[in-house]
Amino acid sequence: MIETNSAQPELKNFVGILAEKLEGTPFAHLLHIYENIIYSLIIVAIISLLAYFASRKSSMIPGRLQLFMEMVVGGLDDFVCGILGPAGKRFTPFIGTLFLYILFMNLFGLIPFLKSSTSSLSTTAALAICVFLYIQYTAIKENGFLGYIDHLMGNPRGIIAFTVFIPVLLLFIHIISELVKPLSLALRLRSNIWAEDMLLAVSAQMGIGGVPLLLFNMLLVILSGIMQAVVFSLLSTVYFALVLPHHEKA
């Protein structure tokens, strides 16, 4: 049930098992390379199916699935708009999808023979880069290119604008800050999920006597998985708030 490599003990998953069975074939090599992508695509399929069946026969008197999904969407909209104000509604689809996607991936590894693809830096880096690019696009769209540069300089006015040194220094600091944000998002999420997977794998190695500890650790992992999805989404929303014009958030 456990496989150990140089990085960490790891619970076996069906893609890894299939790759072992087909060892020596090109298909096994592809499975090994695209293992995390496969699990990410499975999550995409699950969320897409949930959205399809929830909206397929929408009515004024919702069924259980439609009611549940409406509550989820409403909660996410309140979460985003609580930070960004009324302008946040246009960012709810992105932030909401991001939250659900990360949440499902974080918890997927708790199912036997499945894996949390967020334990891979390549997955979390891709998510962080998407957030970074969307934020930069929004900043330039809302402020204009020169307006965004002015924002990065700290909106220097009066005598401060004539010092040159201070605006340029602030521009340099803010550019570094913008580049660090996706790095911190990716590393924080990956490190926490990686540690959770390792914790479960080590607990599973203890045999029957370690079952109580394993169950307790699973509860901690569930709570942590939810928290990490919230933190990633919260920070992403705050980053949007930092680049939006003040009147947009009123």
Model confidence over 194-250: pLDDT tens digits? 988 888 888 777 767 677 887 888 899 999 999 999 999 999 999 999 998 865 555
Q: Is the dihedral of CA 209, 213, 219, 221 positive or negative?
A: negative
Q: Which carries the bigger pLDDT value, residue 188 or residue 161? A: 188
**3 state SS of 11:** strand
| pLDDT tens-digit map of 35-79 | 999 999 999 999 999 988 888 877 777 778 888 888 999 999 999
Q: Which residues contact 160 (CB under 8 A, 6 or more apart)?
A: 154, 166, 167
User: β-strand 2-4 against 9-11: which pairing, if any?
Assistant: antiparallel
Q: Are 32 and 19 in contact (CB under 8 A)?
A: yes
CA atoms within a 13 Å half-sphere pointing along the CA-CB vector of 233: 26
For helices 35-55 and 64-84, give the axis angle rounded to 10 degrees.
110
Angstrom distance (rounded) from CA 231 to CA 145: 29
What pLDDT, on a 0 to 100 scale, did the predictor assign at position 6? 43
What pLDDT, on a 0 to 100 scale, did the predictor assign at position 84? 92
Q: Are 16 and 35 in contact (CB under 8 A)?
A: yes
Angstrom distance (rounded) from CA 200 to CA 11: 8
| pLDDT tens-digit map of 67-116 | 888 899 999 999 999 999 988 899 999 999 999 999 999 999 888 888 99
Its pTM stands at: 0.87
Q: Tell me: pLDDT of 126 over 80.
A: yes
Angstrom distance (rounded) from CA 190 to CA 228: 10
Q: Per DSSP, what are the bridge partners of residue 9?
A: 4
Among candidate residues 162, 143, 153, the one with its CA nearest the CA of residue 243: 143
What pLDDT, on a 0 to 100 scale, did the predictor assign at position 213? 80
Query: For residue 170, with 0-12 CB atoms within 10 Å meaning exposed, 13-18 middle and 19 or more buried, which class applies?
Result: middle
Alpha carbon 26 to chain centroid, angstroms = 31
Length of the chain: 250
**Long-range pairs for 197-203 at CB < 8 Å and ≥24 separation?**
197/8, 197/10, 197/11, 197/109, 197/115, 197/116, 197/119, 198/8, 198/9, 198/10, 200/11, 200/109, 200/110, 201/2, 201/8, 201/9, 201/10, 201/11, 202/9
What pLDDT, on a 0 to 100 scale, did the predictor assign at position 190? 94
